[in-house]
Amino acid sequence: MEPRDSTTSRQFVTLADKRTLEDAGQRLKKVRERLGLRYRDVEQASLSIAQRQQNDEFSIALSRLADIENKGTVPTIYRLYSLCAIYRLDLMDVLQWYGVDGSALPAEAAQIELEKTHVLGFGTGGHGSVAVPLALDPGIDFRRTTHLSRLIQRWGTLPLMLLNGMDLKSHRYAFIGTEDWSMYPLIAPGSLVMIDETKRRPGSHVWATEFERPIFFFEHREGFACSWCTLEGGELILQPHPASMCNPQVFAYPSEIDIIGQVTGVAMRLDQGRKRRVRS
């Protein structure tokens, strides 16, 4: 019978993968030895965690710990939690030891198209990095549109936690569904939007153009929506862009719909209109 901690689909595990697992086990071993902990100490500590969590899956037997350290056996999520607690390690960092990069989750999600508009549950949490240019051609004129990839001299990585100065904590992110045309052409299907949760009141805004009119992100009984809105009495009217040919929606407010926040940023493709014409 296959042990619970072993990797699945072993026929797909390459030699490089095996070395990664073994290296992760050795790193855990070095941390344990540096802390002066014996196998028995780890087992006892894990038993106390299992008791507090009321789940035996958190316990780590002596033989299992030996396999994790010396045979490249992958611990379950429960045992990995226990090891991180006992060794004072960050869970996301240890996952990276095993070849699982949590910071790549948003990028992976972006490759999976979903038809319905939805919010993202990802947060930086101080983890991960983003590629930014550390040195640019001094001749760049930022007043003009520029193809940066041809001018960047050197790229580096900047921890996402350093971006906290942009007040990312007050923002959420969402994907506009690949079949959600309600705000097209201002916001195309498949776009990534940034939502400021501190701005949740539709109010009586004054705007000169449609580009100045605030766009809000909503959660209602059938899912999520992104559009302009008007509050009349106890009803919130979601107003799509006229060019989208979508119909307005009316909800009792606040019993049937919640305003998550105002859309303050968007990243989108510019070829969605052609796709729509091809489908129609």
Looking up residue 250, the CATH number of its domain turns out to be 2.10.109.10
Per DSSP, the three-state class of 72 is coil
pTM equals 0.62
Q: Is residue 144 part of a domain?
A: no
Residue at token pair 């990995």: 80
Q: Is residue 158 part of a domain?
A: no
The reply to whether 83 and 174 lie within a common domain is no
Q: Across all residues in the chain, what is the average pLDDT?
A: 80
Q: Is residue 43 part of a domain?
A: yes
- How many distinct structural domains can be found in the chain? 2
Residues of the chain with pLDDT > 90, as a percent, come to 49
The reply to whether 274 and 172 lie within a common domain is yes
Going by their DSSP bridges, the two strands 118-119 and 129-136 should be labelled as: unpaired
CB 189 within 8 Å of CB 269: no
| Residue 58 β-bridge partners | none
Q: Is residue 245 part of a domain?
A: yes
Q: Is residue 153 part of a domain?
A: no
Residues of the chain with pLDDT > 70, as a percent, come to 72
Q: What is the DSSP letter of 137?
A: -
Note the pLDDT tens digit of each residue in 27-46. 999 999 999 999 999 999 99
* CATH number of the domain enclosing 40: 1.10.260.40
Q: Is residue 134 part of a domain?
A: no
Helix intervals (H) in the chain: 15-34, 39-53, 62-70, 77-87, 91-97, 105-110, 272-279
Q: Is residue 228 part of a domain?
A: yes
Check whether 213 has a pLDDT greater than 50. Answer: yes
Can you give the pLDDT at residue 117?
84
118/26 Cα distance (integer angstroms): 41
Domain span including residue 242: 168-279
* Domain's final residue, options 83, 100, 117: 100
Note the pLDDT tens digit of each residue in 167-212. 555 678 888 888 899 999 999 998 888 889 999 988 666 788 999 9
* Domain's final residue, options 78, 100, 122: 100
Q: Is residue 113 part of a domain?
A: no
The reply to whether 89 and 179 lie within a common domain is no
Identify whether 159 is preceded by a cis peptide bond (ω within 30 of 0). Answer: no
The dihedral through the CA atoms of 242, 244, 249, 255 has a sign that is negative
Residues 6+ positions from 30 with CB-CB distance below 8 Å: none
275/51 Cα distance (integer angstroms): 56
* Domain's final residue, options 76, 100, 124: 100
